[in-house]
Chains A and B, each alone.
Chain A
Amino acid sequence: MIFPTFPLWIVDIAGSVLMVAFSFLCLRLVRKLKQYDLDNVIWTYLLWVCYGLAAFSVSRSAGHILKQLLLMSAHETLWLSIRPFSGAINTFMFVFVASVTLFFERIWKLYQQILKDKQKLQAMHKELLYLNQNLEQLVAKRTQALTLSEHKYRRIFEVSRDMILVAKKDGKVVDLNPAGHAMLGIDAADRSITGCLFQQFFSKEEDWNAIQQKINQRGFVLNFETDFKVRDGANIRALISGSFDKGLSQDEDTVLFLVKDIEERRSMEKQLAQADKLASIGQLSAGIAHEINNPLGIILGYTQLLLRKEPIESERHQDLKTIEKHVQSCKAIVKDLLNFAKSSKPRREKTIINKTIEDVLGFVQHHSNTDHIEILRDYDKKIPELMLDEKKIKQVLLNLIMNARHAVGHQGTIALSTELDADAGRVFIKVKDTGYGIEKQHHTSIFDPFYTTKPTGEGTGLGLSVSYGIIKSHGGDIFVESEPGKGSQFTVVLPVL
């Protein structure tokens, strides 16, 4: 079959020229790409592909053009001698381009890895640059934050009203806050506490053992109530919570204790119980007194009626007089009981308390031998007139002064003082003696009715309980501070109305 050769020549020659032209244009573009980033392996890879393709295009196109020119000029023999070289170079270039292309995956992975590393390096470089530029500022800022934090926690440690104690697991004290020093009665400047054993402050050794056992088992102890021996020998009730704090090494293991002084709370609870007890007794007494008062009145009335009819010298008259005397004595006790039970409301009138005290003192000095007893007075002249039932307050003061007089015996000192606490709106009246004092176990009972330490017949045991009732009915309070051998001080607190 006959075919035209012209299309073959045109396509061959034009195609060859275009192949060479485009291959070099490609080469130029990749070289330009490479200039953007000399270290980019993808561009390096494409450069090698383009080198291969350019060499392939040149060898192939040169061969084709030469072939057509030699054939057209009837130099077929010459072409036959050149043809193997052209073909061999061509084959070699195929293999070269193919070989380079087969590395694409590896090169791409390498490129991605390099890119990742580069990004990491850039990020690190940025961070380093930032740190380098702001290091001083950052250090200052963090130091300040650290100082603030340290100060904050140090302040919590120092200003805490409860004891914070850091100890080793064996109880050796590492640190103790000022509240702890105060609670244990140790001078804050005394550093000798560090290294002491915490358990030495426990009144009962078994309490410490129980705490230690709980910490070992659970890692903490919560609200354990115990008694602490403080430096002056006194005991205080305390509530202990502790947590085990694991350190970096066993030597650094510590236990953090938080100790709350509940002595005051316990004392208040006792006072409340006492008040409750007295209120109950008062209620009972009032009931009994009310029931007894009427029959006593009838007995007294009939006794006095019978007395009128009996001659004075008669034996019956003497008997009736004895009955009358004892009935009146009973009535006085009933009256006292009613006073203690606050059954009657105080009749308040303006009273100058310092004057009232002086009146009572004058009465005592007149009726009792106080020659060898020193009376000290310290009155606060700023005390305003108080709204009180003067008669009943006089009874209270009389009871207290007479008790003090009895306590000091034949020789001693009784100190009377008044004080105004304007902010609290209260007046304090203190009666202090240098007598033997009251044992601690009696402190809770002295206001109980019929409780007395005097020999039988010398006191009814109603004086202080009646005083208690009167002061309570005035909205005030009465309490005692006493230590055996140091005397007693009774304090009456009255509201300023």
Chain B
Amino acid sequence: MRNNFQLFIIFLVFLITERLINPDLALATQAHGAPEGIYAHQMAHLIFAFSMGFLIYWQRKRNLVREAGWRFIQYAALFFILWNIDTFVVHLLDEQFNIIQVKRINLWQMQINVITGHRSLNVLYYFTKLDHLLCVPGMLFLYFGLRRLSEEAGQNISENTQP
């Protein structure tokens, strides 16, 4: 068993060395092509959504949501998750799959065409473009939450400093 593992390692080292010294390939610096940006951005959205989910999980586990301030922050995290999903979908339809084609007709109108897939996707695309309807409430709830925490902290301090 141990001998087999040693043989596998030796083979792996040989393979890597062979690829590195191969004159046909220039592996020193990797090139970053156009789609990489959207991939990084989409990953960032997923990480953002995951971190907000994580925040909700710990707040609930620690029973912080019993306090109004932390409860509002929980709602903010929930709206940010929804916002991330919304924008993830927009980027997916628009930039990754390239199934949506937007054409500006004039200042007040625009044409949204679905190249392949279901025709009703253009309606979904149009509404998902209104992502501020999710992130602004998220920020609003964060503001309410912080305001409540600030009030409670101020109250605690005034109670503690009373003679």
Binding site for B on A (CB under 8 A): 1-8, 11-12, 14-16, 18-19, 22-23, 25-26, 29-30, 32-33, 36-37, 43, 46, 50, 53, 57, 71-72, 84, 87-88, 90-92, 94-95, 97-99, 101-102, 104-105, 108
Contact = CB atoms under 8 A, between A and B. Distances in A.
A11 to B, nearest CB: 5
B146 A87 contact: no
Contacts of B19: none
Nearest to B107: A72
Secondary structure at the B interface, as helix, strand, loop or mixed, is: helix
B30 interface: no
B78 interface: no
A7 B40 CA distance: 29
A56 B58 CA distance: 24
Nearest to A30: B146
Interface in B113-163: 113, 122-123, 126, 129-133, 135-136, 139-140, 142-143, 146-147, 149-150, 153-154, 157
Contacts of B111: 1-3
A325 B139 CA distance: 145
B58 A105 contact: yes
Given A1-B112, A15-B131, A19-B135, 8 more contacts: A4-B108, A8-B130, A22-B142, A26-B143, A33-B150, A87-B37, A97-B48, A99-B47
Interface in B11-40: 37, 40
19 contacts: A4-B109, A12-B132, A15-B132, A22-B139, A22-B142, A29-B147, A36-B157, A53-B142, A87-B41, A91-B41, A92-B44, A94-B45, A94-B47, A95-B48, A97-B48, A104-B54, A104-B55, A105-B58, A108-B62
A57 B51 CA distance: 18
Given A3-B112, A46-B146, A71-B104, A98 B139 contact: no
A1 B113 contact: yes
Nearest to B122: A1
A108 B55 CA distance: 11
A30 B153 CA distance: 11
Contact of B143 (A1, A14, A22): A22
B105 interface: yes
B10 interface: no
B50 interface: yes
Contact of B52 (A12, A22, A101): A101
A53 B149 CA distance: 18
Contacts of B105: 2
Given A3-B126, A5-B107, A36-B154, A26 B139 contact: yes
B41 to A, nearest CB: 5
A390 B71 CA distance: 114
Contacts of A16: 132
Which 7 pairs between the two chains have the least Cβ-Cβ distance? A15-B132, A98-B51, A94-B44, A101-B51, A22-B139, A29-B146, A94-B48
B110 interface: yes
Nearest to A20: B139
B44 A98 contact: yes
B137 to A, nearest CB: 10
Contacts of A15: 131-133, 135-136
**Counting chain A CB atoms within 10 Å of each CB, which of B51, B55, B157 scores highest?**
B51
A163 B122 CA distance: 110
B103 to A, nearest CB: 10
Contacts of B129: 8
Contacts of B154: 36
Contacts of B58: 104-105, 108
Nearest to A71: B104
A8 B129 CA distance: 7
A88 B37 contact: yes
Contacts of B41: 87, 90-91, 94
Contacts of A71: 104
